[in-house]
Amino acid sequence: MVKLEKDILSKNNEYADANRKMFAKRGVLALNLVSSPGSGKTTLLCRTIDALRGKLPIAVIEGDQQTSNDADRIRATGAPAIQVNTGKGCHLDAHMVGHAANHLDLAEGGLLLVENVGNLVCPAGFDLGEAHKVVVLSVTEGEDKPLKYPDMFAAADLMILNKTDLLPHLDFDVEACIANARKVNPRIKVLRVSARTGEGMSDWTAWIGAARAMALAGHPLAAELKGAA
């Protein structure tokens, strides 16, 4: 009989810790964007890159089972992007992300956006070394999603309610959706965004700015940035 008491995901967590250290050393803010397929993550990323152009170096890791369509869309904006195809896998793991990050040549003090595989279940359990998980929920999906997929909403620090320009055409109850998310995670922050019309995008970039300031606290780059501003 051998006593182990070992976390099943310990291997992933070791890789995640290594990623986190590497991001901290370079002053990179890493965000892990999770959602169901079709929530508008890639469009949101393209608009985010446009909004932060010239202010912040951005790199993107795209996770999908197959195709490089999303990375192609990101590269069209001019930002460096790497596509990770998970094949049979349903989520990105920390090893894949570390490997991709090493190939990306991340700029010091920059922003790394990781677009996870569209799936509200599995990516919740896999730490990639990110500073925050951001869950994107589009208003075409139904306000009970946080209750149906509680693990993901419990793991996220921010919920972006996307496609708000479609609200007039839907029966989606925004307040009920936010209440459901807070039942699962009383601390979750919520932003209402339409990546298509640009509504709420400045709130999102302001949130990124605040998260970046937190990620850089104590880093030598923090003083430089302050001097620049």
Compare residues 44 and 114 and give the one whose CB is closer to other proteins.
114
Q: Six-digit token pair at 175?
A: 């307040």
Nearest C-alpha neighbor of 100 from the set 82, 86, 116, 114: 82
**DSSP-H helix ranges across 53-138:** 69-75, 94-104
Q: Is 103 in the site for other proteins (CB under 8 A)?
A: no
Do you know the residue count of the chain?
A: 229
Please choose, out of 103-111, 135-143, 147-155, 160-168, the segment that lies near other proteins by the rule CB under 8 A.
Answer: 147-155
User: How many other CB atoms are there within 10 angstroms of residue 174's CB atom?
Assistant: 14
Q: Is 154 in the site for other proteins (CB under 8 A)?
A: yes
Q: Is 147 in the site for other proteins (CB under 8 A)?
A: yes
**Per-residue contact flags (x/-) with other proteins for residues 21 to 60, judged by CB under 8 A:** ----------------------------------------
Please choose, out of 85-93, 99-107, 156-164, 204-212, the segment that lies near other proteins by the rule CB under 8 A.
Answer: 85-93
**From 44, 106, 146, 156, residue interacting with other proteins (rule: CB under 8 A):** 146
Q: Is 18 in the site for other proteins (CB under 8 A)?
A: no
Phi–psi pair at 113, nearest 5 degrees? -105, 120
Crossing angle of the two packed helices 94-104 and 10-26, in degrees rounded to 10: 30
- Residue 9 DSSP one-character state: T
Instruction: With CB under 8 A as the rule, give the number of residues binding other proteins.
Output: 32
Site for other proteins in 159-198 (CB under 8 A): 180, 182-186
Q: Six-digit token pair at 84?
A: 């990770």
Return left, alpha or beta for 54; rule: phi > 0 is left, psi -120 to 50 is alpha, else beta: left
The three-class DSSP label of residue 142 is: coil
Nearest C-alpha neighbor of 35 from the set 129, 105, 127, 133: 133
Tell me the closest approach of the beta carbon of residue 95 to other proteins, in angstroms: 11
Please choose, out of 18-26, 37-45, 48-56, 120-128, the segment that lies near other proteins by the rule CB under 8 A.
Answer: 120-128
**From 32, 36, 71, 91, residue interacting with other proteins (rule: CB under 8 A):** 91
Q: Is 4 in the site for other proteins (CB under 8 A)?
A: yes
Q: Six-digit token pair at 204?
A: 């999102």
Residues that bind other proteins (CB under 8 A): 1-12, 88-91, 93, 121-122, 124-125, 146-147, 150-151, 154, 180, 182-186
